[in-house]
Copies of this chain bind each other. A is one copy, B any other.
Amino acid sequence: MSGINVGIIGFGTVGAGTVEILTKNREIISSRVGNEVTLRKIADLDIESDRGVPVDRDLLTTEAMDVIDDPDIHVVVELMGGLQKAKEYILKAMERGKHVVTANKALLAESGQEIYQAAEHYGVSLAFEASVGGGIPVIGALRGGLSANHIHTTMGILNGTSNYILSRMTQEGLPYDRVVQEAVELGLAEDPPTLDVDGIDAAHKLAILMSIGFGSAVSFEEIYKEGITELTPDDIRFAGEFGYCIKLLAISRNLGGILEARVHPAMIPKDHIMANVNGAYNAIYLEGDFVGSNVYYGLGAGRRPTGSAVVSDIMDLARQIRLGLKMPMPPLAHVSPPEAGIHIQPMKELNTSYYFRFSVLDSPGVLSKISGILGNHKISIASVIQKGREVNGSVPLVMLTHEARESNVQKAVSLIDGLDVLTGKSMIIRVEGK
**Top 6 A-B pairs, shortest CB-CB distance:** A137-B145, A34-B335, A148-B311, A135-B291, A295-B297, A291-B308
Find chain B residues with CB under 8 A from A35 CB: 335
**Assuming A34-B336, A147-B32, A215-B31, is B298 touching A293 (CB within 8 A)?**
yes
Nearest chain B CB to A131 CB, angstrom units: 13
Contact in complex: A305, B333 (CB < 8 Å): no
Q: Tell which of A199-207, A315-323, A357-365, A382-390 binds the partner.
A: A315-323
* Those of A140-199 within 8 Å (CB) of chain B: 140-141, 144-150
Taking A31-B337, A139-B145, A147-B316 as known contacts, 5 extra A-B pairs with beta carbons closer than 8 A to each other, sorted by chain A number, are A21-B148, A135-B288, A135-B290, A137-B146, A292-B305
Whether B149 and A33, one on each chain, are in contact in the complex, defined by CB atoms closer than 8 angstroms, is no
Closest Cβ of chain B to A154, distance in Å, is 14
Q: Is A13 an interface residue (CB 8 A)?
A: no
Which chain B residue lies CB-closest to A338? B31
Which residue of the partner chain B has the closest CB to A30? B336
- What are 26 pairs between A and B in contact, CB < 8 Å? A20-B290, A21-B148, A28-B148, A32-B333, A135-B288, A135-B290, A136-B145, A136-B294, A137-B140, A137-B141, A137-B146, A140-B144, A144-B144, A144-B312, A144-B316, A147-B316, A148-B314, A271-B276, A290-B304, A291-B305, A292-B298, A292-B299, A292-B304, A294-B298, A296-B297, A297-B297
Cβ–Cβ contact B312 & A147, under 8 A? yes
Q: Does A325 touch B at the CB level, under 8 Å?
A: yes
Q: Is A115 an interface residue (CB 8 A)?
A: no
- Write the residues of chain A forming the contact surface with B, with a CB cutoff of 8 angstroms: 17, 20-21, 25, 28-35, 129, 135-137, 139-141, 144-150, 215, 271-273, 275-277, 281, 288-299, 304-305, 307-309, 311-312, 314-316, 319, 323, 325, 328-329, 333-338
Measured CB to CB, the nearest residue on chain B to A327 is B323
User: Residue among A33, A35, A149, A281 with the most chain B CB within 10 A?
Assistant: A149
Smallest CB–CB gap between A334 and chain B, Å?
5
On chain B, the residues within 8 Å of A149 by CB distance are 25, 28, 308
A297 to B319, CA, bound (A): 28
Cβ contact within 8 Å between B312 and A297:
no
Q: Decide if B29 touches A308 in the complex (CB within 8 Å).
A: no
Partner among B136, B148, B289, B304 whose Cβ is within 8 Å of the Cβ of A315: B148
Report the Cα distance A316→B29, complex, angstroms. Answer: 22
- CB-CB under 8 A from A293, the residues of chain B are 297-299
Chain B residue numbers with a CB within 8 Å of A334 are 31-32
Q: Is there contact, CB below 8 Å, between A31 and B298?
A: no
Inter-chain contact A129/B148, CB cutoff 8 Å: no
Rounded to whole Å, the gap between the CB of A342 and the closest CB of chain B is 14
